[in-house]
Amino acid sequence: MEIIADLHIHSRHSRATSKNINLENLEKYARIKGINLLGTGDFQHPLWNKEIKENLKEDENGILWSKAGFPFIWQTEISFMYSQGGKGRAIHLVVLAPNGNTADKIIEYLKSKGRIDYDGRPIFGISCKQFIKEVKEIDDRIEIICAHCMTSWFGIYGSERGFDSLEEAFGEQTKHIYAVESGMSANPAMLWRFKEKFNVVSFSDAHSFWPWRMGREATILELDKLSYGNLIKAIRTGKGLKGTIETPPEYGKYHWDGHRNCNFSCSPSETKKLGGKCPKCGKGLTIGVDYRVEEIAKEKSGYKPENARVFYELIPLHELIALALGTRMESAKSWEIYNLIIERFGNELNVLMKVSREEMLRNKINEKLVEIILLGREGKLKVKPGYDGEYGVVLMPEEQEKLF
């Protein structure tokens, strides 16, 4: 059974998320995207928790099912802000729970540390080490994954408030960290260079249900049967973990160095020439993932471990349609073309990864769009790198040579 899972999403109760997120919309667009397992998102938030329990039914394997037969698992993201090693830290962790009973115990634990009702991604002033130790005492089946591990401000390896290694971050609790989430501004090949002991997973951290957000990053699993136990076994051991779906790292918000307020970005080599200062305002640049990888990598670029798994770098179909048509992703015209393609080929990931040129042309898909889809599949589309919270910009093929 092949499972394409997105296990890092949010409810409408998290900050900066769509107010139209509900379980029905999440399921609808997951199916359209080609995702067949979702995290619930924000399970500790009282209002969202109530919705989950009213609309999803849990089976004996820890899987929550909608009335239409779509599976979810208990999932949330927690933010930790604290001091360690004489430096302020800000780390996000994804938490998966084996069943509702354990999720309720996690909720009671979080209540003992602070409020859980003001934001779907609550902030606590305890260390990650303390959290892992105490949560693992509740149930060892609870899975803790380092969220968007390279993000400048909230990643475990982030340039601003992160660490140089898992050991530095978690100490003796490192033994409980089996996987890290690559995040949009990094890919597995970059993380392999750290020579740390973890499996790489990829999820979207979606703040809406639209298909250019949800499922833009996902993990491909091969399981004998869909169960929480099998899922966690794959994440922990790598057996059954086939690979990941990524966006090109340049597409992410923190790939290059830069200063959003000054509309300035640059490569790591240019940052070094500038002494890390913005040439427009003189303040320090936000150091991105590309620079940060070189700071902590133990192997040269191109290093590939024996257990390396395949990963696919794909740009969301709405982005490609907008590129081909010269319109906005959410425009009526983009949706018209998108809906036609989904009607013909079933789901977006099928189109981005599998449908042939001949089949698309035979179904009267715009030839320019077909070529762009294939260029994206082959990793031949160039992206002006994102920086300091700004997404990267995909360029038309004729603009590619002028990127830099």
Per-residue confidence (pLDDT) for residue 268, from 0 to 100: 97
The residue type of 270 is E
Per-residue confidence (pLDDT) for residue 398, from 0 to 100: 65
* Token couple for 155: 């990643």
Residue 287 resides in a domain:
no
| Same domain assignment for residues 64 and 163 | yes
- The pLDDT tens digits of the residues spanning 112-125 come to 999 999 999 999 99
Residue 298 resides in a domain:
no
3-state SS string for the chain:
CEEEEECCECCCCCCCCCCCCCHHHHHHHHHHHCCCEEECCCCCCHHHHHHHHHHCEECCCCCEECCCCCEEEEEEEEEEEEEECCEEEEEEEEEEECCHHHHHHHHHHHHCCCCCCCCCCCEECCCHHHHHHHHHHHCCCCEEEECCCCCCCCCCCCCCCCCCCHHHHHHHHHHHCCEEECCCCCCHHHHHCCCCCCEEECCCCECCCCCCCCCCCEEEEECCCCCHHHHHHHHHHCCCEEEEEECCHHHCCCCEEEEHHHCEEECHHHHHHCCCECCCCCCECECCHHHHHHHHCCCCCCCCCCCCCEEEECCCHHHHHHHHHCCCCCCHHHHHHHHHHHHHHCCHHHHHHCCCHHHHHHCCCCHHHHHHHHHHHCCCCCEECCECCECCEECCHHHHHHCC
Q: Which of 230, 251, 272 is the last residue of a domain?
A: 251
Residue 217 resides in a domain:
yes
- The pLDDT tens digits of the residues spanning 19-59 come to 999 999 999 999 999 999 999 999 999 999 999 999 999 99
| Same domain assignment for residues 236 and 350 | no
| Same domain assignment for residues 320 and 240 | no
Per-residue confidence (pLDDT) for residue 399, from 0 to 100: 55
Q: Which of 251, 273, 296 is the last residue of a domain?
A: 251
Indicate whether 403 pLDDT > 50: no
Mean pLDDT, the chain, rounded, equals 96
Residue 162 resides in a domain:
yes
* Count of domains observed in the chain: 2
| Same domain assignment for residues 175 and 322 | no
Look up the domain containing 158 and give its range. Answer: 2-251
Indicate whether 217 pLDDT > 60: yes
- Per-residue confidence at 404, pLDDT binned at 50, 70, 90? very low
| Same domain assignment for residues 141 and 232 | yes
| Same domain assignment for residues 221 and 344 | no
Per-residue confidence (pLDDT) for residue 296, from 0 to 100: 96
**CB contact set of 223 (below 8 Å; sequence gap of 6+):** 1, 3, 230, 231, 234, 240
Residue 69 resides in a domain:
yes
Residue 335 resides in a domain:
yes
| Same domain assignment for residues 82 and 155 | yes
Per-residue confidence (pLDDT) for residue 396, from 0 to 100: 82
| Same domain assignment for residues 26 and 150 | yes
What's the rounded mean pLDDT across residues 306-325?
96
Per-residue confidence (pLDDT) for residue 397, from 0 to 100: 73
* Token couple for 135: 């949560």
Q: Which of 215, 232, 251 is the last residue of a domain?
A: 251
| Same domain assignment for residues 247 and 339 | no
Q: How many residues does the chain have?
A: 404
Residue 288 resides in a domain:
no
Residue 60 resides in a domain:
yes
- The pLDDT tens digits of the residues spanning 317-367 come to 999 999 999 999 999 999 999 999 999 999 999 999 999 999 999 999 999
User: Domain with 74 in it: what CATH number?
Assistant: 3.20.20
